[in-house]
Chain A
Amino acid sequence: MPRLRAATASFRHQASMFLAEPQWLIPNIIAPFVLAMVVLMLYREPSPEAVLYAVLGGGMMGMWGNTLYASGYSIQSDRWWGTVDAIFSAPSPLIWIIGGRTVWNAFIGIVNGLFVLVAAMLIFRTPLEVANFPMFLLAFVLTLLSLAALGMLFSAAFVLTRSAQVLTNGLEFPIYVGTGSMFPIFLLPYWTHPLSLSLAPTWGIDAIRYSALAGYAQGFRIGYWGDMLAMAALSLLYLVISIWLFKAVDRRARRTADLMRY
């Protein structure tokens, strides 16, 4: 089980790194919160459903910041610390190390999301009655895992291409919109739909809405379980691509030396 151990240790390590300076979370809390407010202000007299939609969406947006940054820059941060040699020369495969960290990051993303959600609920005085709690929880956990899988994909892709790093800064907003956190996807132009649909959390967010909002009608027609299935399938696909990308990272690191220059 040395691989699992590397993953759990990396999870714990990421946690202690995070808890040493939790203030990094503040921008991740503020930005989605402000966005949720802006969306609400676009409605002149928001219906309770619209408020709920926006509040839930704010929570979803809160999840993204950490996944994008903390996971995307996971290997990158070891380059900053100068620990990348120690990580690359460890007798544990890199993907398990990054995998463990990514799960923590997704977890923090979710905590972040809940925080925004609760804050928005208090401010807009919208009691959120979760329609089906077990299904809500299941969707939540699976969304967490799908975020982790996506984070893993990002972390490998960011190391392999420099341009991906430049993209990150501009990626946050399109993802808020693309996953349907801010507006229902059907309001977006058609050409963006394939992009939205290829993001596993889009389906997760829809599933969460199905389980949380009684009488939710704007969702995908495949319903809660369809959402869950689509999310699981996409997450698995991410995992497969990640395994392949991490092999490329390892090869590239040892062949050229540009991943480890310090």
Chain B
Amino acid sequence: MTSIHFRALTGKVITSNGIPSTGERGMDDREIVIDVRGLVRKYHSTTGVLHQKRRETVAVDHIDLQVRRGELFGLLGPNGAGKTTTIKVLTTLLLPTEGSVQVLGYDAVKQPMEVRKRIGLILGGERGLYYRITARQNLRYFADIYGVPIAIRDKRIEEVLARVDLLDKADVRVEDYSRGMKQRLHIAKGIVHDPELVFMDEPTIGLDPEAARDTRAMTKELVGEGKTILLTTHYMYEADELCDRVGVIARGRILALDTPSGLKALVKDTSVIEVEGFGLTEMDVESLRALEGVRTVAANMGEDKQTMRVQVEDPGGMLPRVAHILEDRKVIGMKVKEPTLEDAYLWLVREDA
């Protein structure tokens, strides 16, 4: 029995027996620590000064989600998919418009303080720290308002500083930190009160490859210690490398929810024709998309070089037809490749558009 939740084709998530899949067998007996049912979150905003118009954005549109203790769960989706909104509802920063949200057995709407004591929130990006004061002063403040017992506070701060490798810079003002150091301090801040469950919103955004690797390594370490993590990301390989299960989200809806290998299986009957060339245009992408036998086309339209990944079921038959469409273009390479998680993701997200 397959545990693929698949929405793009049917318009509704299929689960084999009404119970959400846990991806891997043997996980099923672990306690559910995040239980989201029918979550909807809308935003209202007004535009215009004189003729005010009320606009409604449905940021999260009927999401169901269950995460078990010890899992590393990834929410993967494009900009504006509703990832941050979902995290904000789960961390009690926002009230749901509809639906129920249970975190660690507590109702996120009615018992926010109980939830807050037990969770950590790690945001990506430059901000979210007090720049004028030192890392240690930052951590001390957060430890205090997050209720770390005073007797162990300083020891605990020492521990987390060591863990994120900032001990020697602990008494330097944060404004003198590099981007990577700030991110490590973000992690320290999110775990200083030793939460059971950690939320990370795009923890590697804007980091150089090495700093991003460090961050991923620390994330894995946390899971190794038995913490549960829900993270959001734009990056496929990050989700692939880290996550036990991935929910692909776009326009506020979960399009598919499975293990990375389960998601790859969505495109197992397809191949990818990778085209590299000069002067390829959006028009070409559109004509390829319109071609019968093409599932989807992902394009990277660089200034001087463009690459396209054309997903097809029958590469042998499609190769000449693709070549035909691009006849009078400057194509420098055309290869048939195995699909990756990225292809599965792009197909899901495109198909839903």
Contacts and interface: CB of A to CB of B under 8 A. Distances in A.
A106 B94 CA distance: 32
B145 A10 contact: yes
A92 B148 CA distance: 12
A81 B189 CA distance: 15
A83 B129 contact: yes
Contacts of A8: 144
5 contacts: A5-B147, A10-B145, A81-B129, A92-B146, A256-B43
Contacts of A262: 127
A255 interface: yes
Interface string A76-89: 00000111011111
A170 interface: no
Contacts of B147: 2, 5, 91-92
- Tell me if A's interface is mostly helix, strand, loop or mixed: helix
Given A81-B131, A91-B117, A9 B93 contact: no
A132 interface: no
Contact of A257 (B43, B128, B140): B43
Interface of B: 43-44, 88, 91-95, 113, 116-117, 119, 121, 123, 125-133, 137, 140-142, 144-147, 150, 173, 189
Given A13-B144, A92-B147, 5 more contacts: A9-B144, A13-B133, A81-B128, A86-B121, A97-B145
A254 interface: yes
Contacts of A255: 95
Nearest to A90: B145
Given A85-B93, A91-B116, A254-B93, A6 B133 contact: no
A217 interface: no
Nearest to B142: A86
Interface of A: 2, 5-6, 8-10, 12-13, 16-17, 20-21, 81-83, 85-92, 97, 253-257, 260, 262
Most buried by B among A20, A81, A89: A89
B173 A88 contact: no
A75 to B, nearest CB: 14
A97 B147 CA distance: 12
A83 B146 contact: no
Contact of B173 (A10, A20, A254): A20
Contact of A9 (B44, B113, B145): B145
Most buried by A among B113, B116, B125, B145: B145
Contacts of B132: 17, 20-21
A217 to B, nearest CB: 47
Nearest to A96: B145
A92 B145 contact: yes
Nearest to B89: A254
A192 B352 CA distance: 63
A118 B119 CA distance: 50
Nearest to A94: B145
Contact of B92 (A13, A21, A89): A89
B196 to A, nearest CB: 13
Nearest to A8: B144
A250 to B, nearest CB: 9
Contacts of A85: 88, 91, 93, 121, 123, 128
A84 to B, nearest CB: 9
A256 B93 CA distance: 10
Most buried by A among B116, B126, B146: B146
A91 B113 contact: yes
A24 to B, nearest CB: 10
A17 B121 contact: no
Nearest to B199: A89
Given A81-B129, A81-B130, A254-B92, A86 B137 contact: no
A257 to B, nearest CB: 6
B113 A260 contact: no
A81 B144 contact: no
A92 B117 CA distance: 9
